[in-house]
Amino acid sequence: MTYNEILYYALTNVCKGTYVAWPIGKAPPLPWFTYKRSHDGEVFADNSNYGLMPRYRVELLMKENDPQLIDDFEAALSKIGTWKLYEADWLNSENCLYHDYRLTLLPNREEDE
């Protein structure tokens, strides 16, 4: 499974989502998420590539504050990596609330637990 697939399948257990953006006029009703890979996350040591920890930007959009949805979404993020909430705000242009997360994917995390 690719890193994008790991992230997508983990988060679609909570709500619908897509890579980067929905086609114009094709977005489903809220809530949903988008994601994109922001860095490859290579870790170099001793003049070689020591590890790979891909980094993503994940945005959760919802019509109104939904603490249960947020808890479920953040629990799903925790199962696949480490994350931080970068920003949470109201988007006037979209008339919705959004949470912007930064995720470092740790592909074997679920196996370790």
Instruction: Specify which residues 61 forms β-bridges with.
Output: 32, 98
Q: Residue 45: what residue type?
A: A
Q: What is the pLDDT of residue 47?
A: 72
Q: Is the pLDDT of residue 111 over 80?
A: no
Q: Is the pLDDT of residue 84 over 90?
A: yes
**Residue, of 111 and 35, whose pLDDT is higher:** 35
Mean pLDDT lowest among 13-27, 32-46, 81-95: 32-46
| CATH code for the domain of 87 | 3.30.2000.30
Residue 33 has which token pair?
Answer: 């998420």
Q: What is the pLDDT of residue 45?
A: 67
Q: What is the pLDDT of residue 7?
A: 96
* Domains: count for the chain: 1
The overall average pLDDT reported for the chain is 89
Q: What is the mean pLDDT of residues 103-108?
A: 86
Structural domain containing residue 89: 3-112
CA–CA dist 89, 57 (Å, integer): 15
Q: What is the pLDDT of residue 38?
A: 87
